[in-house]
């Protein structure tokens, strides 16, 4: 709902020519939390360019711009699930300097409205992303349903495909994080 005090917020599909810019903005938005966790500047972008390309190019993925009064202020990548009625919020970001102003809450509502046939939403966030954990659970109504760690590794492709070829390589905690789900109430 937009009031006189609340700027208009809309979602707009990105076009192919926008993806490099969207990727840079995602990486810039994710960098501060990673740098805070590690205590040092990141040396490689997170997510990697390869991971971004995989998300953008996933079958039926929709890359969305988040616009406030026509200005790009964030975005999301939404991917259909393997089952009907399921979708994954693959990536979600608010641009640096725009966070903490209610954009995420309003954007999430807009995403839910855009996909009214979704029964179950799924997303993932690293264990150290306290703001994300708060946002998904306390603001959006998700529930943590799985925690990935050394004894329960993430089933996705390894970050470094050749890691299995390096003896002594072990889980280093990079994939430690939470899988969240939100079950939507049926429409009446």
Which is more confident, 124 or 150? 124
Average pLDDT for 128-138: 92
Q: HSE (CB half, 13 Å, CA atoms) of 170?
A: 4
Give me the residue spans of the domains in the chain. 9-183
pLDDT band at residue 120 using 50, 70 and 90 as cut-offs = very high
Which is more confident, 9 or 5? 9
Closest CA to 122 of 90, 154, 152: 90
CA-angle at 125, arms to 41 and 7, nearest 5°: 90
Highest mean pLDDT among 5-19, 25-39, 112-126, 174-188: 112-126
Average pLDDT for 182-188: 81
Which is more confident, 168 or 60? 60
Which is more confident, 126 or 161? 126
CB 77 within 8 A of CB 62: yes
Average pLDDT for 79-95: 94
pTM (predicted TM-score)? 0.84
Please give the pLDDT value at position 161: 38
Please give the pLDDT value at position 154: 78
Query: Any idea which of 28-37, 74-83, 91-100, 153-162 has the lowest mean pLDDT?
Result: 153-162
Answer yes or no: CATH 3.40.30.10 is held by domain 9-183: no
pLDDT digits (tens, 9 = 90+) for 11-28: 999 999 999 999 999 999
Going 112 to 113 to 118 to 119, the CA torsion angle's sign is positive
pLDDT digits (tens, 9 = 90+) for 143-184: 999 998 888 887 765 443 333 333 333 344 457 899 999 999
Of all residues in the chain, what percent carry a pLDDT higher than 70?
87
Would strands 86-94 and 71-80 be described as parallel, antiparallel, or unpaired? antiparallel
Classify residue 167 as left (phi > 0), alpha (psi -120 to 50) or beta.
Answer: beta
Please give the pLDDT value at position 2: 47
């Amino acid at each position: 709902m937009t009031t006189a005090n609340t700027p208009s917020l809309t979602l707009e599909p990105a076009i192919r020519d926008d993806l490099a810019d969207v990727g840079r903005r995602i990486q810039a938005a994710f960098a501060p939390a990673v740098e805070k966790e590690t205590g040092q500047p990141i040396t490689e972008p997170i997510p990697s360019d390869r991971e971004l390309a995989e998300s953008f190019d996933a079958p039926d993925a929709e890359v969305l711009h988040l616009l406030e009064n026509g200005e790009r202020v964030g975005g999301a990548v939404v991917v259909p699930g393997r089952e009907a009625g399921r979708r994954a919020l693959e990536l979600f970001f608010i641009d640096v300097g725009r966070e903490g102003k209610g954009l995420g809450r309003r954007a999430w509502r807009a995403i839910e409205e855009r996909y009214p046939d979704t029964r179950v939403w799924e997303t993932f966030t690293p264990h150290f992303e306290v703001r994300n954990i708060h946002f998904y659970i306390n603001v959006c109504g998700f529930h943590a349903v799985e925690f990935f760690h050394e004894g329960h590794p993430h089933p996705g492709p390894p970050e470094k495909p050749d890691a299995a070829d390096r003896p002594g390589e072990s889980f280093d905690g990079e994939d430690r994080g939470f899988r969240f789900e939100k079950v939507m109430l049926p429409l009446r």
